[in-house]
Structure 1
Amino acid sequence: MTYTKHWNWLRSAAIVLAAALCVVPATQAAPAKERVNIIYKKGAQAKIMAAIARKNGRLIYEFPEVNAVTVELSRKAVRALKRNANVKFVEADTMQYAFALTDPSDGDPYFLGQAVPYGIPMVQADVLDDSTAGNTTLCIIDSGIDGTHPDHAGNILAGENLTTSGTWDSDESSHGTHVAGTIAAVNNPDVGVVGVLPNTNLNLYIAKVFDASGSTASSTVAKAMWGCWRRGGADVISMSLGGAGNSRLQQIVADFLYTRGVLLIAAAGNDGNSVISYPAGLDSVMSVAAIDENKAWANFSQFNETVEIAAPGVSVLSTVPVGSIVDYTATVDGTEYPALLMDGTPAATATSTLYDLGTGEAIDGAAAGQICLIQRGNISFADKVLACENSGGIGAIIYNNVPGSLSGTLGDVATTIPSVGVSDTDGALMLADVGTIATVDTLNGIVSDYDYDFFSGTSMATPHVSAVAALVWSHFPTCTNVEIRDALNATAEDLLTAGRDNFTGYGLVQALAAYDYLAENSCGL
């Protein structure tokens, strides 16, 4: 059985660096290092490289075509380079982050026995064939792909690894494999799901920039963009990632590729506010918002003047690495119930009597030494778990207040007791058994043989748009990236106010409508 797991891969993160304090003579202290992007004047490459060498800098990336490098230097050296007459500007190399309801197939146009995620027909991918997909190459910049997954067997894959973790065809965080499944999960009998381009015709290039941490430097993403084009020959670049700061290096690379015919597409972000995330906020990049299966705007999706188009991004079913799903249970009075870990819970086991803590909005000393049963609602999951912990409880089970299983996150709140979520139905059954022995186990899960999961986020919406762009473009290979972009926007299904809006852009991307538009307007001919 698969349980819904909502992921917010693009939430804002605070990274705390702790250093041990020691007393040493000032002359022995190592100079602080900074990682920066340097854009230099045309023709000054040799002089800049010599200056970096004199300052004992460590070269990380070179971008000679756009007169840029990424280096690590002492703070003093960075200040000196900012004053160098051959330098146009120096910027910090900022961090970026990776931002998951189906019906059975009816056999047309897919083999029987597969699930067709709701987003596939919603973007009209089921009514536009992908027989010409070999005309295009789509590059996914993400956490890699599980090349052993049965729903990627037969896909045309190549790639590069810009991390120190595994290989480009391995995936330590599941994110990249999930994105790839929405794009190209294979149409094969009785296996899993289908993607927008399911018939193994599309050329896929995988640029791995994330390890298990789900974060990377903006320069690494820029280097991946470059590799997608230079080594991968990409027509479309899909980026389910972003960050709060606009890297000028990234902007220069994106603009350079856009003028050379590449269509770049990125996630708008998952903070549910009007902040612009990058690279989605760049003029040369399409910014993608998320909607749900009812075509309603997802309230986590960022909204602003750069949002250009929308696609399904709530509870999207797709592929995850083989063996990555671990099933957990909560046991009450001898009955095991399926449970989902609270994201951020410690790995531990707790057994005691079950205590009804209501909605967990107040400290209750009577819960001391017991397992807290808590109903969802009114306050955050983290506050509910803390209420149990501060009451002396040793474990928490939170049950849903609406139909369905419960997946939640504790965010950045540190807790010490194991906590899980269960469905509303199972919670009601547990409530009838308050006072009996219960166990919460977040340590000993069982690896599932079902290698698919539901993720949510603008990360999930982005591959729908990227795949539709590649699908439509493959039928009109002489069109330009600008013409494809204009066609997608002109034919998107309007969802909110007439015309473009800050929440869903021009609306829901539509493959067949864009195809018909281009057929009528004969672009590139």
Structure 2
Amino acid sequence: MKKRRAIGSAVLSLAMGVSLFATGAIAKQPESQDSFRVLIQGTNSEKAKVKDHYGVRLDFGTEGFTTTVNGNQYQALLKNKNINISEVSEVTLDYMKEAAAKPGGSTGSGPSDRTPWGIEAIYNNSSIQATSGGNGVTVAVLDTGVNINHKDLVGQAEQCKDFTQRTAPLVNNICTDKNGHGTHVAGSVLAHGGSDNTGIYGVAPEADLWAYKVLNDRGSGYSDDIANAIRHVADEATRTNTKVIISMSLGSSSKDSLIASAVDYAYGKGVLVVAAAGNDGPTANTIGYPGALPNAIAVAALENVQQNGTYRVADFSSRGNPDTDGDYVIGERDVEISAPGRAIESTWSDGAYNTISGTSMATPHVSGLAAKIWAANPTLNNVTLRQNLQANAKKYDVLSGTGAASGDDYASGFGFARVNQ
């Protein structure tokens, strides 16, 4: 297909082992070959004319609005010198070359371990049989949807919404996950083990879930839809007076203005934003967005291997900027916190379980930990909660893996944030 202009890398891929951050190549548009999602910018009068003619999917005020057009309409808009038009493009998905990271069939009716190694590690307790915490805190999982009827997740979804439908930018009470990734992420955050005591546990099983489908069943989505969902979380947090954490196991190699603005908006509304660092390691300066944004916590992936007395940062985990090592200051493209991310077992969309790898799997461990800490310390706000996580991570330095070193480093950030036992 002919290469087109893009808004950065406006369509994002899963940040899991299955799907690396965007490579930049253009793939077929999900709606049709002759269908284009575009961002329109310009004067208010010119935008009004285009809105009247083509309609609006999402309006972002001064940042412009998005709409869907056919090929002829797209060419006509390109000729309009009074507006700026950028196509919201789709990037290809890449695959890690390791069996543990590839998507596969679920592992059967029960998990191999009700408290997998990541749970034992983050609780710093190898004999833990069940987890607790998170009461009164909500985690919004922005992903491929969630099987909210999975026996280990049933009863926890307060909201279930789809931001990917072609006919409407938001559909309530639908969040179907036909990919598996979103259900896996949700399980690591807050799976409660099931009423029959045979299921799996997440970090904070008493937390509530907002399941927001922002990625399609192939694991990609438009940046305007993702930005819309982020802003919706913030507005809902304000409306319901709820402590909310956004967990985003998705990303792109390029910064997108709509998503960056939405993250700033949510953070300013008191929402904590946690996002995957990406799977382009061990090369430096490879953190993807939105994790790379200063108002998002970028999470690196650890594996169940110990060297130098600590868990090791996985080679696939994206690295930050080595020039900022040791400063304990989070800037753009800095890793902030590490968590278990390789060979993580969790809930799957078919009602069973699966084991996959990626910074996607590390992210929900931190989101769950944040929920647990916030529930135990309700006077914290999102900024002081983040400071608490950072201080917690400093207690458990990571000294193993490419780029890992004593103190704040570009591979593991501040360290491995864990439950204070």
TM-score by length of 2: 0.73
Between 1 and 2, higher relative CO (CA 8 Å, sep ≥ 6) is seen in: 2
1:287-326 equivalences in 2 (<5 Å) = 287-294=298-305, 295-305=311-321, 306-322=334-350
Report the counterpart of residue 48 of structure 2 in structure 1. 50
Report the counterpart of residue 510 of structure 1 in structure 2. 418
Report the counterpart of residue 486 of structure 1 in structure 2. 387
The verdict on how the C-alpha distance between 1:78 and 1:281 changes in structure 2, with shifts beyond 3 A counting, is farther
1:129-278 equivalences in 2 (<5 Å) = 130-131=132-133, 133-164=134-165, 168-188=174-194, 189-198=196-205, 201-231=206-236, 235-272=244-281, 273=283, 274-278=285-289
Using the alignment, how far apart are the partners of 2:17 and 2:174 within structure 1? 22
Amino acid at match of 1:270: N
Using the alignment, how far apart are the partners of 1:40 and 1:94 within structure 2? 20
Amino acid at match of 1:177: T
**Could you report, residue by residue, the CA deviation over 1:203-246 in whole angstroms, capped at 9, with x for unpaired residues?**
21011012221111111111111122223656210000011221
Using the alignment, how far apart are the partners of 2:367 and 2:91 within structure 1? 20
Q: How many residues align?
A: 344
Residue among 280, 297, 304 paired with 1:286: 297
**Structure label with greater radius of gyration:** 1
**Could you report, residue by residue, the CA deviation over 1:380-416 in whole angstroms, capped at 9, with x for unpaired residues?**
xxxxxxxxxxxxxxxxxxxxxxxxxxxxxxxxxxxxx
Question: Offset at 1:506?
Answer: 0.9
Identical aligned pairs, as a percentage? 31
Q: Does 1:499 align with 2:407?
A: yes
Report the counterpart of residue 461 of structure 1 in structure 2. 362
Other structure's SS at 2:289 match: coil
Amino acid at match of 1:279: P
Other structure's SS at 1:144 match: coil
Question: Offset at 1:285?
Answer: 0.8
Other structure's SS at 2:304 match: coil
2:156, 2:207 within 8 Å by CA — same for their partners in 1? yes
Using the alignment, how far apart are the partners of 2:294 and 2:40 within structure 1? 22
1:123, 1:510 within 8 Å by CA — same for their partners in 2? yes
**Could you report, residue by residue, the CA deviation over 1:239-260 in whole angstroms, capped at 9, with x for unpaired residues?**
0001122111111111111112
Other structure's SS at 1:511 match: coil
Amino acid at match of 1:471: K
1:265, 1:466 within 8 Å by CA — same for their partners in 2? yes
Q: Does 1:93 align with 2:88?
A: yes
2:26, 2:90 within 8 Å by CA — same for their partners in 1? no
1:97, 1:214 within 8 Å by CA — same for their partners in 2? no
Using the alignment, how far apart are the partners of 2:304 and 2:287 within structure 1? 25
**Could you report, residue by residue, the CA deviation over 1:12-32 in whole angstroms, capped at 9, with x for unpaired residues?**
4544449xxxxxxxxxxxx97
Amino acid at match of 2:19: W
1:98, 1:459 within 8 Å by CA — same for their partners in 2? no
CA RMSD of aligned residues (A): 3.1
Flag structure 2 segments of 5+ consecutive residues without an equivalent.
1-15, 95-99, 101-111, 306-310, 322-333, 399-403
Using the alignment, how far apart are the partners of 2:266 and 2:158 within structure 1? 22
Question: Offset at 1:11?
Answer: 4.5
1:303, 1:502 within 8 Å by CA — same for their partners in 2? yes
**Could you report, residue by residue, the CA deviation over 1:58-93 in whole angstroms, capped at 9, with x for unpaired residues?**
4111234x6542223524425636x45xxxx76543
Using the alignment, how far apart are the partners of 1:137 and 1:96 within structure 2? 31
2:27, 2:90 within 8 Å by CA — same for their partners in 1? no
Using the alignment, how far apart are the partners of 2:124 and 2:92 within structure 1? 28
1:120, 1:196 within 8 Å by CA — same for their partners in 2? yes
TM-score by length of 1: 0.59
Other structure's SS at 1:231 match: helix
The verdict on how the C-alpha distance between 1:213 and 1:278 changes in structure 2, with shifts beyond 3 A counting, is same
2:41, 2:47 within 8 Å by CA — same for their partners in 1? no
Flag structure 1 segments of 5+ consecutive residues without an equivalent.
1-5, 19-30, 101-112, 324-450, 514-525
Other structure's SS at 1:501 match: coil
Report the counterpart of residue 324 of structure 2 in structure 1. none
The verdict on how the C-alpha distance between 1:95 and 1:468 changes in structure 2, with shifts beyond 3 A counting, is farther
